[in-house]
Chain A
Amino acid sequence: AQKVTQAQTEISVVEKEDVTLDCVYETRDTTYYLFWYKQPPSGELVFLIRRNSFDEQNEISGRYSWNFQKSTSSFNFTITASQVVDSAVYFCALSELTQGGSEKLVFGKGTKLTVNP
């Protein structure tokens, strides 16, 4: 079965510091997708990025960047020059095909990031 491990339960940084959130996954599928979601203190779940297993290019979106490495089964997320508004719980997730041919996401336990002013 698929598994996602986010070993960092909580991280606390000071504003403007760079911070990396780790995500390690396990899967037997050759084709799969990885996701990151953000959950701010208001509670909603916000989709950040999707990456398929064939695309190992790093991605950058403003202050956010993602490093996907199949060799180490990792999909890490870096926030550069963190801001207080980045304070949230961040979830990494992995797609899993079901027997019926549908699909579901398996989530890690999340990393709570606190950015202090």
Chain B
Amino acid sequence: DAGITQSPRHKVTETGTPVTLRCHQTENHRYMYWYRQDPGHGLRLIHYSYGVKDTDKGEVSDGYSVSRSKTEDFLLTLESATSSQTSVYFCAIKPLGSGSSPLHFGNGTRLTVT
């Protein structure tokens, strides 16, 4: 258990509403990531963070924003949800270590936009 908690675990929302997903970690890891998982696409990176207030875009960042005001929390916001954002969202952390340490993932948030 890498101490990652995602909330909520499930959410149903309507098109056009704002949605915020939260990722909380307990181990002060510097690097945090948001991925989405869709059938036929695998996992695709939305945004990532390399420190407090330091974030950057991934390959599918359109329609999403993130914030990291403290080490332990990484928030993903859909400003105006669309049906194409129906997906399973995974948060991940990357522990420091020699070479490239593997990402540890949270249990995911299943978001449905109706």
Contacts and interface: CB of A to CB of B under 8 A. Distances in A.
B43 A107 contact: yes
Q: What secondary structure prevails in chain B residues at the interface with A? A: strand
B50 to A, nearest CB: 4
A104 B58 contact: yes
Interface residues of A, number: 26
22 contacts: A32-B100, A35-B102, A44-B107, A45-B105, A47-B102, A50-B101, A52-B99, A52-B100, A93-B43, A95-B100, A100-B54, A101-B50, A102-B50, A103-B31, A103-B94, A103-B100, A104-B33, A104-B48, A105-B33, A105-B45, A107-B35, A108-B42
Interface of B: 31, 33, 35, 40-45, 48, 50, 54, 56, 58, 88, 90, 94, 99-105, 107-108
